[in-house]
Amino acid sequence: MTSAVLEFSNAHRIPTAPSVTDWLDSQARVVDIWIDRLVAQGGDVGLIAVLDQHAAFLREALERSSDRV
């Protein structure tokens, strides 16, 4: 499955609320903790890969939201 990122002009961007960046940060940390646990326990490689992709998505979203604060 692929997803597209929509780009909007800078003139219409509204600063991201700190609560959104806090939420993204906490979600990325939680996913990283689960990845570490699954790796340590010899968890399913496919699940670890999907979680790794999700963590990367959350970090990118966090980076994008931090750029707008």
* Averaged pLDDT score across all residues of the chain: 86
Which two structure tokens, joined as six digits, stand for 32? Answer: 């990283």
Higher pLDDT, 1 or 48: 48
Q: Which amino acid is at 49?
A: A
* Per-residue confidence (pLDDT) for residue 35, from 0 to 100: 98
Q: Are 19 and 62 in contact (CB under 8 A)?
A: no
Average pLDDT of span 45-53? 98
Q: Are 32 and 62 in contact (CB under 8 A)?
A: no
pLDDT band at 48 (very low <50, low <70, confident <90, very high): very high
What is the Cα gyration radius of the chain? 15
pTM of the model: 0.70
* Per-residue confidence (pLDDT) for residue 12, from 0 to 100: 54
* Per-residue confidence (pLDDT) for residue 69, from 0 to 100: 47
